[in-house]
Amino acid sequence: MRIKLLIPVIFLFASFLNAQTDSLKLSDSASVSSAVNHNWLHSRYVHESIVPVSLALGSATIIAIPGLKQYLQTRLMWNNDQLPGYINLGDDYIRYAPAVAAYALSAFGMKSQHRFIDRSVILAVSYIASDFVVYNVKKLAKSPRPSGRTTSSDGYSLPSQHAAMSFVAATFLDHELGYISPWISVGGYLTASYVAYARVARNAHWTSDVLMGAAVGIITTNAAYWAYDGVMKLFPKKLTITPIISPQQAGLYVSYNFN
């Protein structure tokens, strides 16, 4: 029972640290001037990379230690989706819940950090980048699933796409509404952790798969926000990006005000 609770606790603890990274700042200007040569250590890029890098290293460690991946699987897998008695834990749908919650809470009056159009573009870029990384790492790693399935329709195991998508959603919720209360962020990351755990419990993924998937989801979403903020700094209040969706086409409308 203790081992079954281990992975959700690790995810929640690591995710809580990630939720706090946006609030880490230097205490005063004096400390900034005394650390001119070390500013990169205090940058948001470093702070927001600590958790995903740690998760990726945890995944690599599990893979590197002989027998550990299999040992964890025997302790955590209890809901094999190929056997009678399988219980649908809803992970196929719950992976989107934090992103849906971000829009729902905003609709009910909570002010998001970005406008609807802007945050929608950021979310779309995050999902696209995450899927790109997951797909290509799967092709490179060619890691079979615990069940041994590696058909073209089923794909390979490392990293978990479900975990990546759920942590994209959770990180998106954290960025947009986490400033209101840390419990909003914790709720999103706890939901994503549940999805990751469910993937292991149903024997669809190894523990190392979901840890790596979580790392991919967090870092690609953070990177999407870094890119957005970088573009906005270059073109403050002059750049407008609007999605275009019609039966004939889909794309982005981009305009820039030179005045």
Whether the Cβ atoms of residue 159 and residue 209 lie closer than 8 Å to each other: yes
pLDDT digits (tens, 9 = 90+) for 226-242: 998 888 777 665 555 55
Give me the tens of pLDDT residue by residue for the chain, a chain 259 residues long: 444 444 554 454 455 445 544 444 334 444 444 444 567 667 788 888 899 999 999 999 999 999 999 999 999 988 887 788 888 888 889 999 999 999 999 999 899 999 898 899 999 999 999 999 999 999 998 888 887 765 544 578 899 999 999 999 999 999 999 999 999 999 999 999 999 999 999 988 999 999 999 999 999 999 999 998 888 777 665 555 555 555 555 555 555 555 5
Instruction: State whether the Cα torsion 114-115-116-117 is positive or negative.
Output: negative
CA distance 259 to 255: 12
- The per-residue pLDDT for 198 is 93
Quick one: pLDDT at residue 25?
Answer: 39
Q: How far apart are CA 208 and CA 105, in angstroms?
A: 33
Q: Which of 202, 55, 69 minimizes the C-alpha distance to 143?
A: 69
pLDDT tens-digit map of 12-49: 445 544 554 444 433 444 444 444 456 766 778 888 88
Antiparallel, parallel or unpaired: β 239-245 and 250-256:
antiparallel
Task: Give the model's pLDDT for residue 211.
Answer: 96
Dihedral angle at the C-alpha atoms of 41, 211, 180, 23, nearest 10 degrees? -10
Contact call for residues 226 and 45 (beta carbons, < 8 A): yes
Please give the backbone phi and psi of residue 224, each rounded to the nearest 5 degrees, phi first: -65, -40
- How far is Cα of residue 76 from the mean position of the Cα atoms in its chain? 22
- Asked if omega into 8 is within 30° of 0 (cis), the reply is no
**pLDDT value at residue 104:** 95
Which among 233, 224, 230 has a CA at the least distance from the CA of 48? 224
- The average confidence (pLDDT) of the chain is 80
- Single-letter residue type at 215: A
- The backbone torsions φ and ψ at residue 255, rounded to the nearest 5 degrees and listed phi first, read -130, 150
Q: Note the pLDDT of residue 85.
A: 83
Residues 6+ apart with CB under 8 A from 76: 3, 4, 7, 197, 200, 201, 207
Domain extent listing, the chain: 2-234
- Whole-angstrom CA distances from 253 to 80, 88, 110, 237, 242 are 46, 41, 27, 16, 5
